[in-house]
Amino acid sequence: MSTNHYDKRGVSAGKEEVHAAVKNLDAGLYPKAFSRIYPDFLGGDEAFCNLMSSDGSGTKSILAYLYWKETGDLSVWRNIAIDVMVMNLDDLLCVGATGPFLYTSIINRNKHLIPGEVIAALIGGAQDFIDKMQAYGIDIKYMGGETADLGDSVRTTTVDGSMTARMKREDLVITSQIQPGDVVVGLASFGQAAYEDAFNSGIGSNGLTSARHDILNKSYLSKYPESFDPATAQEVLYIGSKNLRDNLLGTELDFGKALLSPTKTYAPIIKALLESKKAKIHSMVHCTGGAQSKVLHFIDGLKIVKNNLFPCPALFKAIQEESGTSWYEMYKVFNMGHRMEIYLQKEDAQDVIDLATSFGVEAKIIGYVEAFDGKQVELHSPFGSFIYE
């Protein structure tokens, strides 16, 4: 996948146009927070603040559609519901919110293609996730939402959601607290956590347009014309060699299940960490849009050096091999092995690593912070060294 392919597919890793469009909006109480934070409009208490996140599964829902049509397996839709919730929940975790949370879902569908059983699976999947998180002290209330039949504008379905919380300002974690001398502890995106039902490929919910078209072959182009924008050049559609049911080498997953692994939440780990070590945490960054360059949105006068990354998971290797994407671009589009970063002093890092390990999630120091004239991420990988600014 060249950058030209990425543009031709109508997607962007850095979302530069979006950032430009919102740059003049009110940045809230703490412009350098991971999520926007506002005064306590709901309660009117100056000691508290309100925060909200809105996100979705992106084009991962199209992969769920393809897999369901090919196999009849409805469980993939339950995983899409998890993706939406985790993309919101883990953003809010980064500012120190641990609940209670209010959640609402937004499902738009083409009713001719997406029947009621899919809607039921989506809603059931969300409730199952809420129940599982409750066992770890993460309190989420499902406030319902909107399900709209929009066949004229939605080719298959979109699945999005919003989550909000109210918390004390004194408990906030702000990215401006990142400082020279900090280390970066990364929490693995792959593997099977104690609170997951199956092995997770690590894919998350970013870069799925490229992953789908770079992995899957042309048979899906003619069989499922509803799965892509007809205005897109066919030269960048389904250009890989794989079928959904082909095995992902080195795993027990087929490519479909690997691409549809639900986005791993770190909520049980972060809640336990904030309860026991909050004073030690300088910042947390959820490596979603922008992937390993995500932190650039939140720093000034700093360089983040990432020189001890996790081994590249099998799915990301396969995407690169199928597409020929530069490794520079891979690390900007996909998390490549870790999706949560915790910034703190080196002497406190082992406590975080041990806590994550106790939940079945690999963790290690993946880099460090130093002073810099400007802002930069310097990344060293087995495939080369790259600079992001």
CATH number at residue 366: 3.90.650.10
- Percent with pLDDT over 70 in the chain: 94
Neighbours of 10 (CB within 10 A): 12
| pLDDT single digits (tens) 338-387 | 999 999 999 999 999 999 999 999 999 999 999 999 999 999 999 999 99
Residue 56 has a pLDDT of 96
Q: Determine contact, residues 210/9, Cβ cutoff 8 Å.
A: yes
Q: Is the pLDDT assigned to residue 297 strictly greater than 80? A: yes
**Alpha-carbon 146 to chain mean position:** 22
Average of per-residue pLDDT across 306-318: 97
| pLDDT single digits (tens) 50-96 | 999 999 999 999 999 999 999 999 999 999 999 999 999 999 999 99
Residue linked to tokens 């495939």: 383
Residue 1 has a pLDDT of 46
25 vs 19, 50, 70, 166, CA distance in Å?
A: 10, 17, 44, 21
Q: Determine contact, residues 145/157, Cβ cutoff 8 Å.
A: no
Residue ranges making up the domain that contains 177: 3-388
- Provide the number of structural domains found in the chain: 1
Strand partners, 305: 368, 378
Q: What is the CA radius of gyration of the chain?
A: 20
Of 268, 298, 260, the closest CA to residue 89 belongs to: 268
